[in-house]
Structure 1
């Protein structure tokens, strides 16, 4: 029996795909650096072997899947080539694998992970569904009808996919280390749109997505009246957000989600539109939207003492604004404290003023050192450059987290795509010792 060997198995997409194949009763193993990542816990729970990188891991009879983060010079890739094994990159393998199912790609500059998780939850309650989420979560079912997966625009990786459906949440300028500008990002999404086989579900409130052309129907959702699927009569309570959905001006249903912020209503609308297209009953949608518990590192809450600690992947100004808005909606009587670790020097430089504007929406701001990539040149940029643009912002180190204790009833938002979790873990240690 063929064994799938994943080079870079701790990557979020790689980890999720390995879990999918394991659940479908394939033999799966992988290798990676020895540093611990949150993505390896589900692998360990399923008994999937993880080895340190070394060429001896490569053996006859394996099919090799390589993370896009590693080049042809990697010692295991070299060994696999020498042995004449089949080698595919993660995007190439996934692009072929999804053709076995009714495939639904979820893409967009923001909201991919949450929307993929929500859609998987709703569809999975109705019929067998496999899914692959960018938070490292994956589940496979051999008899799956649907395959829901997160499709990332970075380096145009999503152009490896030709899905039946595609949800497009928004188009924003991100990844300045790769894309030139918003027009370059749009061109990537436009090319992706031409590869979709059945229909596209897109946010009509997004100015860029209004310009998308395709060979298949484009169904629009949003708050504006000219959308095919429109959310109206939004009401926020302590339990969550209530709203009505109108399909081409006809009342379709009333929904409640246990989440806050306009972005979560939009994510729900995307799922409702896709499921409507696939004739999923409205009762199923209403029931399952109400029970979705969220995905990893997206507004993940815990209470310690009198404080609410929230872990969130927000690493772009748009996402920071959305996370702060959600916190203020859910906890209107508490001060919101932003603890932010910028991710990559290129992104920090490109959005320095936008980061400052977004963070100023919080009541208090703390900044951690920039989490840089080994592949980039940081130049003269430092965290002090961002601090200078935010009146009253303080710098925070892992060894000095005591100032956070001053916000006794605060909602502490630990935001970033690097290793911001270590600051939260260190702070939790301070509170519990």
Structure 2
């Protein structure tokens, strides 16, 4: 041990291991111990990258969970780490002393004059403000904060010089009884931590004892009734000072100065005015307390003592600011939530206040479920996450469902979304609900910060994508010809044979190859997805639509039918198959009759190698002209193409512009017409007339999907208005108001039944437009 390292608990300890080292209380203590000269190691079940980096930079050795290094002499653990934890069990087996975070902090600051910042709400911010003001004044001191500053200007812990050390002291686990401060600051008091303080009087007793042990000065809020009650008890040797709007040290907000406010100081303050870089009425109280203590200690205050206050991570921190402003806050008590939402409402100029709340601990939730519901009623919409348990097991009345029940009872159920156990679904619902101008706050003391940051990453990606779309539209409109159609949010349901689905982000009908090239190249330059839409058969468009450029070759320019001198037939990709058959019949061209009843276009038939009545599209193809997604035009002979069942590989990432077809020998038009009539009669007898997407499943090798579905007793099976056809079991029909969700659910049901009854995995033939079936099956 170095000469500067104090002994602890009467032991000659040099090597300390921290359990829960990534916590906001433990990590700063680890930094402080390392700077004192201890050899520190630590572990955690889930690391915040910023905390991990701080500890590693300080020389703290990080180990895998449950790994207790052999050389450790003392284990310091968060109160959330139970005795059953692997490393605690190993420490017990080795006879190692084990102490809680607060006990270790109290031990290592014994030789210095301690300023203990305590209380229920705001102590981390008040401690950080006091540290900032003292550092700005050049006042020699050390500190241990219970959080991280928002920037790297100041570390969360420093041994420092001089007699004084500033520390945030937590009452939650009873270790407050280990401290004997020189100065105690009680920012405010509220009954909390029912797992430790069964009655309010228990909390009062703990704080009364702390104030009795305080040697130099006590600072209490003039707005806290419980603090006033403690002061009235008397029996303290240290003088009591008050802070607030009417206290000995007075602070009043006089103006907003984004991102903070101006305060007028009065009473015993030597300074008349100060700029505080933190918004909200509660930060007026925090700043007043911090400045009062700084002046008491002898620091020279100036009007800019808190002008560069960096703020504390997860204390009304702005994670993202654009069309939607996203905050995160550590608030986990109804009083804190009420104050936070009130502040955010004042800051907000447009839109709604939307809150994602993760309750912290079952005992606290059971204690305050009604109060939580009342506080959350200050939001326009609330998304409830499940309770973050910390070290607790569930207790009756202590779940998020209980808060939801309170909100329902209060009439706010329409403004609350709670999906138990489905965080992914909840965040999808949140993304769908947000509107430009909204303020979004992630609130809670658990691991909600990870959720918040993941959501912000997706939000940023969405906004970047939206910016790309706007840039695409501006550029495309400047280059496209007047005959080309370009629309935003065009609903696609009416453009499909199933009659379901949402809008396309951008829909285009190019009037020629040049405009198609412009569209593809502009989309490619911005990494925007491109999808082709023919006649809308053989596909299901999701209800939420498609975030892509949907191109339809519906302009007449793509519907050509041109017999060639060499006997072949040129047809444009936009030509309907029904029209192809009709025109070929009039021209006496045989071989296309099987296509007549397929509700698609030439382009779609080429991409899917469409087939019916024993014939396939590529039976009649000679050459195909296509355009790659990079805008390059190529002509490919049939022999150069890789075609199989319901697929042409070369058209997976390209668009068919048209094809040269090879008719059979010319015959009398009446003979062709009679063959078409035979096919039509067969189709009418074997296929449903209601809206459908054609065959839903591919036929398995050597079998029939329709027969397997029929034999599994599924004809007539329904989900909503989607029904397995009673005419042909491999068709799902829309009975009137089916949704894509209905159809997908029915596909899932059919697959599961056929697998159970016949042991066959059916694979969808119909396309899930803009998605992959594997993502929903």
**Is TM > 0.5 for Structure 1 vs Structure 2?**
yes
Q: CA RMSD in A?
A: 2.5
- Tell me which of 220, 224, 230 is aligned to 2:250: 230
Q: How has the CA–CA distance of structure 1 residues 47 and 97 changed in structure 2, closer, same or farther, with 3 Å as cutoff?
A: closer
Q: How has the CA–CA distance of structure 1 residues 90 and 246 changed in structure 2, closer, same or farther, with 3 Å as cutoff?
A: same
CA distance in 1, matches of 2:174, 2:69: 30
Deviation, 1:79, is 4.8
In the TM superposition, what are the counterparts of 1:172-183 in structure 2 within 5 Å?
172-183=190-201
Contact residue 145 and residue 157 of structure 2 kept, 8 A: no
Can you give the 5+ residue segments of structure 2 that lack an aligned partner in the other structure?
Answer: 2-13, 149-154, 463-777
Per-residue CA deviations over 1:71-103 (Å, capped at 9, x if unaligned) read 566554565566565654332222121122221
Can you give the 5+ residue segments of structure 1 that lack an aligned partner in the other structure?
Answer: none
Q: Which residue of 2 is the match for residue 186 of structure 1?
A: 204
Give the secondary-structure state (helix, strand or coil) at the position aligned to 1:36: coil
2:243 equivalent to 1:221: yes
Q: Which residue of 2 is the match for residue 132 of structure 1?
A: 144
Deviation, 1:402, is 3.9
Contact residue 372 and residue 378 of structure 1 kept, 8 A: no
Q: Which residue of 2 is the match for residue 107 of structure 1?
A: 118
CA distance in 2, matches of 1:311, 1:254: 29
CA distance in 1, matches of 2:196, 2:95: 32
Q: Which residue of 2 is the match for residue 392 of structure 1?
A: 414
Contact residue 398 and residue 426 of structure 1 kept, 8 A: no
CA distance in 2, matches of 1:363, 1:197: 47
Contact residue 260 and residue 327 of structure 1 kept, 8 A: no
Q: How has the CA–CA distance of structure 1 residues 370 and 77 changed in structure 2, closer, same or farther, with 3 Å as cutoff?
A: closer
Give the secondary-structure state (helix, strand or coil) at the position aligned to 1:12: coil
Q: How has the CA–CA distance of structure 1 residues 79 and 400 changed in structure 2, closer, same or farther, with 3 Å as cutoff?
A: closer
Contact residue 130 and residue 146 of structure 1 kept, 8 A: yes
TM-score under structure 1 normalisation? 0.89
Q: Which residue of 2 is the match for residue 401 of structure 1?
A: 427
- Tell me which of 446, 450, 453 is aligned to 1:422: 450
CA distance in 2, matches of 1:251, 1:24: 36
CA distance in 2, matches of 1:312, 1:335: 18
Q: Which residue of 1 is the match for residue 224 of structure 2?
A: 206
Deviation, 1:304, is 5.0
Q: How has the CA–CA distance of structure 1 residues 400 and 252 changed in structure 2, closer, same or farther, with 3 Å as cutoff?
A: closer
Q: Which residue of 1 is the match for residue 299 of structure 2?
A: 280
Per-residue CA deviations over 1:304-326 (Å, capped at 9, x if unaligned) read 54111101111111111111122
Per-residue CA deviations over 1:258-301 (Å, capped at 9, x if unaligned) read 22221100011111111121121132xx3221110111110110
In the TM superposition, what are the counterparts of 1:13-162 in structure 2 within 5 Å?
13-33=25-45, 35-37=46-48, 39-54=51-66, 56-59=68-71, 62-70=73-81, 76-77=87-88, 79-80=90-91, 87-125=98-136, 126-135=138-147, 138-162=156-180
CA distance in 2, matches of 1:116, 1:402: 37
Count of residues in Structure 1 that have an aligned counterpart in Structure 2? 426
CA distance in 1, matches of 2:161, 2:400: 52
Deviation, 1:139, is 2.1
Q: Which residue of 1 is the match for residue 9 of structure 2?
A: none
Give the secondary-structure state (helix, strand or coil) at the position aligned to 2:272: strand
Q: Which residue of 2 is the match for residue 6 of structure 1?
A: 18
TM-score under structure 2 normalisation? 0.52
Contact residue 367 and residue 387 of structure 1 kept, 8 A: no
CA distance in 2, matches of 1:169, 1:19: 25
Q: Which residue of 2 is the match for residue 271 of structure 1?
A: 290
Q: Which residue of 2 is the match for residue 313 of structure 1?
A: 330
Deviation, 1:232, is 3.5
Bigger relative contact order (CA 8 A; separation at least 6): 1
Contact residue 68 and residue 91 of structure 2 kept, 8 A: no
Give the secondary-structure state (helix, strand or coil) at the position aligned to 1:337: strand
Give the secondary-structure state (helix, strand or coil) at the position aligned to 2:261: strand
Contact residue 342 and residue 348 of structure 1 kept, 8 A: yes
Contact residue 253 and residue 261 of structure 2 kept, 8 A: no
Contact residue 58 and residue 76 of structure 1 kept, 8 A: no
Contact residue 334 and residue 409 of structure 1 kept, 8 A: yes
Give the secondary-structure state (helix, strand or coil) at the position aligned to 1:398: helix
Give the secondary-structure state (helix, strand or coil) at the position aligned to 1:52: coil
